[in-house]
Amino acid sequence: MTQADISRISSVRLSPDRTTVSQQLGLLDGLAGTWEGRGFNLIARPDKQGGSPLFLELNQTREILKIDPIASPIPNRGFAQDDIVLFGLTYLQKITDSVTGGALHIEPGIWVTQPATTAPSETPPPGAQIVARMGNIPHGNSLLAQGLAIPVSSLTNGTFDIKPVNTAPFKVDDPMPVGGTQGGFPPYDLSNTTPAAVNFRTPAGDTPSVPLPSEIDGVPMQKVINDPTRLLQAAIAKQFIEKMVVLDIATTASLNVTTGPVPVALGAGGIENMPFLVTNADAALVFATFWLETIRDKTGNFLQLQYVQTVELNFPILGTTTNLSWPHVSVATLRKTFG
């Protein structure tokens, strides 16, 4: 079934053959499969028990991401306009600390692609698709982030630049720093070896203690903390990317940064948090970019998935009323496996 086939959506939805399902998924079809790889996670969290303004958690990660096509169409019933049909995939993301083996994150969710609509008026650029990701996190959060899937066929020397991401905290409602700087808090500065820094930083603060590496994949640890996307650049530095699809999504239509508003094409959605999180560490915003890459090597090619995601967590400094937004940044480079 394609959008042009719809006159009245049947209440019985049967699954077509796999080739048809792939065609219906369009630019999202390449996501289907099992992905495995490594990444990095940075999150500042309140430390009421320790009496510190924050606890900076730094994790080298191991990730398994399993994505399965939804074989049947997903009808959205129209009122202001005719019915539309979505197509999508379910996913299950599991992330562990690659050093300790400890659990860090589990997230079931769905990716969907949506046709152009008139009510509301949403039309992707030529060749692109409207996409959305829905996810549920066991802390008590649910998110929907919308945006675009954009095909890229021509790359300079088979590579591309990834924009820096900001990890530095900033006042709620202030513009977000562009990225690559420190936030002025001791745990973010590795040259600071005072108890105010090292006692509130992991993995050095793990029990039992785990040494903090001096570098990851040749990138000095301080640069990783300032901008974790340096790890993504290191991963593709010696690769030739034949083509790729970029998935750019956000729970908002525009990001407020120090250089001015940055629109997210067709960005929309939001986050819902359980009351405990709203009071203690409110997840206010999510934005992410995924790169679905076809890598050419001597034996042919393989598929690689890279991403950077930022979640803004809002909570005040202990003992003050200064409410800050603390970026929780995750990056990973995954490859499709036979799983």
Percent of the chain with pLDDT over 70: 95
Rounded Cα distance, 176 and 285, in Å: 12
Domain boundaries, the chain: 3-336
**pLDDT at residue 50 greater than cutoff 60:** yes
Partners of 41 in the β-ladder: 59, 330
**pLDDT at residue 113 greater than cutoff 70:** yes
Q: What is the pLDDT of residue 180?
A: 66
Greatest mean pLDDT among 6-20, 193-207, 302-316 lies in 302-316
pLDDT tens per residue, range 150-202? 999 878 778 888 999 999 999 999 999 887 666 678 889 999 988 888 888 88
Residue 334, helix vs strand vs coil: strand
Q: What is the pLDDT of residue 15?
A: 82
pLDDT tens per residue, range 221-262? 999 999 999 999 999 999 999 999 999 999 999 999 988 899
Distance of CA 38 to the CA centre of its chain: 14
Query: Do residues 337 and 34 make contact, with C-beta atoms less than 8 angstroms apart?
Result: yes
Q: What is the pLDDT of residue 205?
A: 64
**pLDDT at residue 48 greater than cutoff 80:** no
Q: What is the pLDDT of residue 93?
A: 98
Rounded Cα distance, 294 and 159, in Å: 11
SS (H, E, C) 278-306: HHHCEEEEEEEEEEEEEEEECCEEEEEEE
Q: What is the pLDDT of residue 227?
A: 95
Rounded Cα distance, 330 and 93, in Å: 13
User: What average pLDDT is seen over the chain?
Assistant: 91
Which secondary structure element, helix H or strand E, spans residue 269, and what is its range?
A: strand 269-273
Alpha helices in the chain (DSSP H): 18-25, 195-198, 221-226, 229-236, 275-280
**pLDDT at residue 217 greater than cutoff 70:** yes
**pLDDT at residue 90 greater than cutoff 70:** yes
Mean pLDDT value of segment 142-148: 98
Mean pLDDT value of segment 135-149: 97
> Rounded to the nearest 5°, which phi and psi values hold at 77?
-75, 130
**pLDDT at residue 3 greater than cutoff 60:** no
Distance of CA 12 to the CA centre of its chain: 34
Q: Residue 195 region, left (φ>0) first, then alpha (ψ -120 to 50), else beta?
A: alpha
Structure-token pair, residue 283: 């997840």
Q: What is the pLDDT of residue 52?
A: 73
Q: CATH classification of 3-336, choosing from 2.60.120.380, 1.25.40.10, 3.40.50.720, 2.40.128.20? A: 2.40.128.20
Rounded Cα distance, 9 and 193, in Å: 64
pLDDT tens per residue, range 259-279? 889 999 999 999 999 999 999
Q: What is the pLDDT of residue 7?
A: 56
Alpha helices in 60-193 (DSSP H): none
**pLDDT at residue 4 greater than cutoff 60:** no
CA atoms 201, 202, 203, 208: torsion sign: positive
Mean pLDDT value of segment 70-96: 95
Does the predicted TM-score (pTM) go above 0.85? yes
Q: What is the DSSP string of 41-87?
A: EEEEEEETTTTEEEEEEEEEEEEEEEEEE--S-EEE--SSS--EEEE
Mean pLDDT value of segment 83-91: 96
Q: What is the pLDDT of residue 334?
A: 98
Structure-token pair, residue 304: 């690689």
Q: What is the pLDDT of residue 317?
A: 80
Long-range CB contacts (within 8 A, 24+) of 68-74:
68/32, 69/18, 69/21, 69/22, 69/25, 69/29, 69/32, 70/110, 71/15, 71/16, 71/21, 72/13, 72/14, 72/15, 73/1, 73/9, 73/13, 73/24, 74/112
Query: Do residues 161 and 144 make contact, with C-beta atoms less than 8 angstroms apart?
Result: no
Q: What is the pLDDT of residue 35?
A: 98
Mean pLDDT value of segment 327-336: 97
Structure-token pair, residue 297: 């090597």
